[in-house]
Amino acid sequence: MSIIIRPETVADRAAVRNVVLAAFGRSAEADLVDSIRSSDVCVPDLSLVAETDGSVVGHILFTHVTLNNETSGLLGLGPVAVRPDVQGKGVGNALISAGIKKAASLGYDGIVLVGNPRYYGRYGFAPASRFGLRSAFRVLDDVFQAMPLQPGGLDGLNGTVRYSPEFDSV
């Protein structure tokens, strides 16, 4: 299966919504993606789609997050959505890998996420607490993860990472 990763366009919005709805089986995540697009935390260059045979089959979104309520060089990864009929075929991997590479090329310091440590560990994510970072969400230590994008990108950080208020409803 050939997978093309590219920036999301306005024309992709309905297809992205359908992918996110199908992947999560509820509207909360799709509503989140829709609301993030019009917010100042959106990073348009890091809203990516996966396309196979001319159809959008996956989507990934990165957003600005704060550290101790201050602007930071950190990004939040998520949500990541892959249409159920193509899950397990490398779409999610292609989206995550391309997103990490693009975020690094844009000069961001690091990425945080809430997710499965075994899955995201293969990309270089580790418990964020190792970098002095805590989540404003109540999650297990190993589930809130971080990864530097630049040499020393997470060095010397200490504090609480907050996602935009749009995430509070998910």
Per-residue pLDDT band at 168 (split at 50, 70, 90): confident
| CA-angle at 160, arms to 158 and 163, nearest 5° | 135
The pLDDT value recorded for residue 67 is 97
Within 8 A by CB and 6+ apart from 107, the residues are: 73, 150
Strand partners, 7: 48
What domains can you pick out in the chain, each with its CATH number? 4-169 (3.40.630.30)
- What is the Cα Rg of the chain in Å? 15
Please measure the distance between the N-terminal and C-terminal CA atoms of the chain and give it in whole angstroms: 32
Taking CA atoms, 136 is separated from 21, 89, 132, 166, in Å, by 26, 33, 13, 14
The per-residue pLDDT of the chain, averaged, comes to 96
- The per-residue pLDDT for range 16-41, each reduced to its tens digit, is 999 999 999 999 999 999 999 989 99
Distance CA 139, CA 165 (A): 17
Residue 124's SS3 state is: coil
- For the cut 90, the answer to whether the pLDDT of residue 128 exceeds it is yes
Conformation bin of residue 45: beta by default, left when phi > 0, alpha when psi is -120 to 50: alpha
Q: Which residue has the tokens 């971080």?
A: 146
What percent of the chain is modeled with pLDDT above 90?
A: 95
